[in-house]
Chains A and B, each alone.
Chain A
């Protein structure tokens, strides 16, 4: 078989002449996905290594620096809620404990897998559009077989979400002014609420909570949990994109306040 006689051109199939006859703008979703993911990667990467402007008004810690566990966090007193022990090195993000797992969580996420297989791998770029690869084994081999570890990243992501929730709560306490509420508090709260939506709508979570059962009727509590998570799970892609946006906006807010570019409006206190 020659290389051109692959896929839809294989022997016996209708010889149509064109590899793809779609007339809509099928290339738009994968192109938009590529742009969206690249924006997040570039912004997130730049911020993770900046090691500056991550703590504002002595109480707002950006999610990109949480938990702040580097010795470098000492430059912003009060930012390290869980101790400082990682060496302060330009190549080690201050949140080096959580960021690799969060990246792993999203990389192995069933939604993001679809997104980058389609947009970066073009396997397939859109339905009924031939992919460019000569051979295909899917997720049966190394390295893609590692996608099966997704549930472990999910477990860590739950812990990190708890840490982020803690950050959002302690942010209501100003070291000198006591209990205060600023716009930044609302920003952190909204961000953490949406992070929870993304995290618990995960397919592995759905499975662990009840999906793995065959007899729902014997496990009413887990069945109830499964139905709730299933409802969120249908919006998993939506939360995946919303949280990329809210993470950037939250971080941007903390950064701008920390730099003094904008002032955080105090609503109470």
Chain B
């Protein structure tokens, strides 16, 4: 089935812009990105959009559709009724470059702030031995495609530009969790996750989990476990006592 769909697409740049109305053909089985491409081909050849794989694996086509952070290539047109106006805007947490393309360098800056994987010094590459049970938990986090939709939706930075300096965002708090839970990482990341990366600002309201196209349980499996580790180290006299007495390895 084909129909003429009504679209509102944000066009502009950092200096200003507006939603532009379009009427465009929509065919059965298409996704929003197909329609954006048809707009480029037929009506708006200079419409800027970032995309690569069209398979939900490269994380390039992040945008907001009807106000919801989503991948353009993974949003089927069939979720909308034919008479519904579909509004497409760029991600609204990052500076816009042009049309649907934003500058996501905040995320790369935050990635660089995390100390990299630190294996024991006496262990040469090639000698790493880990059991599956020990790496299983952090493997979930490695499904991340770095679409930054979680970063875009997180109200800590979305609604408070000033927090960008002190908050790494869910994707990178999860990266710290991945390293902290890694059986061969020897660096202590608990103080850092609270003081440098701003975990305390997360109020576990789970929007990151809601929008993650990989279905990663960011809040339950990365952020809350890290909050509990922070509580161990900072706010739990019993754990402190137990550690001082036993000194057993974790």
Contact = CB atoms under 8 A, between A and B. Distances in A.
B205 A114 contact: yes
15 contacts: A12-B14, A12-B96, A13-B94, A16-B17, A17-B19, A23-B87, A114-B204, A117-B204, A127-B68, A127-B69, A127-B210, A128-B68, A212-B229, A214-B181, A217-B133
A20 B67 contact: yes
Nearest to B208: A127
A14 B96 contact: yes
A46 interface: no
Contact of B92 (A8, A131, A213, A217): A8
Contacts of B235: 148-149
Contacts of A15: 12, 16-17
B204 A110 contact: yes
Given A23-B66, A113-B203, A213-B250, 7 more contacts: A16-B89, A16-B92, A124-B155, A127-B68, A130-B158, A148-B231, A234-B220
Interface in B87-116: 87, 89-90, 92-96, 102
Interface of A: 6-8, 10, 12-17, 20-24, 110, 113-114, 117-118, 123-124, 127-131, 133, 135-140, 144-145, 148-151, 203-204, 206-207, 211-218, 223, 233-234
Contacts of A118: 205
Contacts of B66: 21-24
A123 B205 contact: yes
Nearest 5 Cβ contacts at the A-B interface: A21-B67, A138-B201, A22-B67, A140-B200, A127-B207
Contact of B67 (A23, A113, A214): A23
B201 A14 contact: no
A203 B220 contact: yes
A14 B92 contact: yes
B87 A123 contact: no
Given A21-B66, A217-B133, A145 B161 contact: no
A215 B207 contact: no
Interface string B201-228: 1111111001100000100100011011
A14 B220 CA distance: 31
A235 to B, nearest CB: 11
Interface residues of B, number: 64
Given A13-B94, A216-B133, A217-B134, A136 B160 contact: yes
A215 B204 contact: no
Contacts of A133: 159
Q: Which of A6, A13, A139, A212 has the most CB of B within 10 A?
A: A13
Contacts of B200: 137-140, 145
B30 interface: no
B10 interface: yes
A24 B235 CA distance: 40
A12 B224 CA distance: 32
Contacts of A140: 198, 200-201
A130 B224 contact: no
Contacts of A10: 161
Contacts of A23: 66-67, 84, 87
Interface of B: 10, 12, 14, 16-19, 64, 66-69, 84, 87, 89-90, 92-96, 102, 131, 133-134, 136, 153, 155-156, 158-161, 163, 180-183, 198, 200-207, 210-211, 217, 220, 224-225, 227-232, 234-236, 249-250
A23 B66 CA distance: 6
A110 B225 CA distance: 11
A151 B236 contact: yes
Contacts of A21: 64, 66-67, 87, 89
Given A128-B207, A223-B133, A8 B93 contact: yes
B66 to A, nearest CB: 5
Q: Which of B14, B68, B133, B205 has the most CB of A within 10 A?
A: B205
B228 A203 contact: yes
A137 B156 CA distance: 8
Q: Which of B66, B133, B153 has the most CB of A within 10 A?
A: B133
A15 B10 CA distance: 9
A217 B93 contact: no
Given A13-B96, A14-B89, A234-B220, A211 B225 contact: yes
A17 B64 contact: no
A18 to B, nearest CB: 8
Nearest to B206: A114
A130 B159 contact: yes
Contacts of A6: 159-161
A53 B51 CA distance: 66
